[in-house]
Amino acid sequence: MARKVLTLAEVRDGSLRNVSFEAIAAAKTIAQGGEVVSVLVGESVQSYANELFFYGADRVVVVEHPNLKNYTSDGYSQALKAVIDEEKPEGIVFGHTALGKDLSPKLAIKLNSGLVSDVVAVEEAGGNLIFTRPIYSGKAFEKKIVTDGIIFVTVRPNNIQPLERDESRSGEVKAVSVDIKDLRAIVKEIVRKTAEGVDLTEAKVIVAGGRGVKSAEGFKPLQELAEVLGGAVGASRGACDAGYCDYSLQIGQTGKVVTPDLYIACGISGAIQHLAGMSNSKVIVAINKDPEANIFKVADYGIVGDLFEVVPLLTEEFKKLKV
């Protein structure tokens, strides 16, 4: 059955987040040959429409308003609700990002629909759409089908392969005018806690440090390795609690959930709460002095050794590969 499916495109720091393209790919599967409509919301965002076409959107709807310059759940839900009322989609796909996690339940309630959140795979089998999502902190997966109403899902970043970028694709851009008002919160300024760099939740490579890194200074070799690999630096709660780095880098049950292609854990013991945030990474490398460390149980490659010796060696070797 062909469906019209709407996706939310997320713009941050002047570019579209990758999850916007992953949402389009998921929407294509849900649409089953129907139309995929991507929605751009912001103050001045129409220029991003072409990129959405290149990644497979059939049509782009743009809602621009000064009150949408920064994300607020009131502003974005008014914009999205107006678009949904006009477009009447049978499916909706958001990224399972901080924004998507905040906005999707609020909209689902307004639409009187269900919500399948944190989806890592979408497939069609026997006439049913099957959504896979991790449960019990990633220790098991459940498969869900939606039997009634709008199919509303959020997709975990880095899990669904975007369509190949094709600059020959194009489509119609439609502007929808919505009066965004009665905001209960207004974002006046965004102050970044961490330095600019690769976004942890979308990073393909993460070099994470734990208490074994021993100091803020001890994170420097990890930063160098991350830089050579074009990745981001993450941390265990142990390292954050010890004051070696900011909590915004924390990965785990009470931190960020990440699924990079490569996760390099340095001086991290592998507590269950840490594994909850990274055990679904595609390849895990663990560097630890203790051969009995729990992290080796989930690692694809383990290096028993001192991270202050091993990490600089890896950086040097990767540098050689780059030239």
Is residue 156 part of an annotated ligand binding site? no
Is 307 among the residues that bind ligand FAD (CB under 6 A)?
yes
Q: 34 or 234: whose CB is closer to ligand FAD?
A: 234
Which of the stretches 148-156, 173-181, 183-191, 210-218 binds ligand FAD when contact is defined by CB under 6 A?
A: 210-218
Which of the stretches 21-29, 39-47, 84-92, 261-269 binds ligand FAD when contact is defined by CB under 6 A?
A: 261-269
Q: 42 or 255: whose CB is closer to ligand FAD?
A: 255
* Burial of 50: CB neighbours in 10 Å, binned 0-12, 13-18, 19+: middle
Considering only residues 250, 259, 280, 315, which one is a binding residue for ligand FAD as defined by CB under 6 A?
250
Per CB under 6 A, contacts with ligand FAD among 277-306 are: 277, 287-290, 293, 306
Considering only residues 89, 91, 255, 260, which one is a binding residue for ligand FAD as defined by CB under 6 A?
255
Is residue 274 part of an annotated ligand binding site? yes
Is residue 96 part of an annotated ligand binding site? no
Binding stretches for ligand FAD (CB under 6 A): 210-212, 236-239, 250-255, 267-269, 271, 273-274, 277, 287-290, 293, 306-308
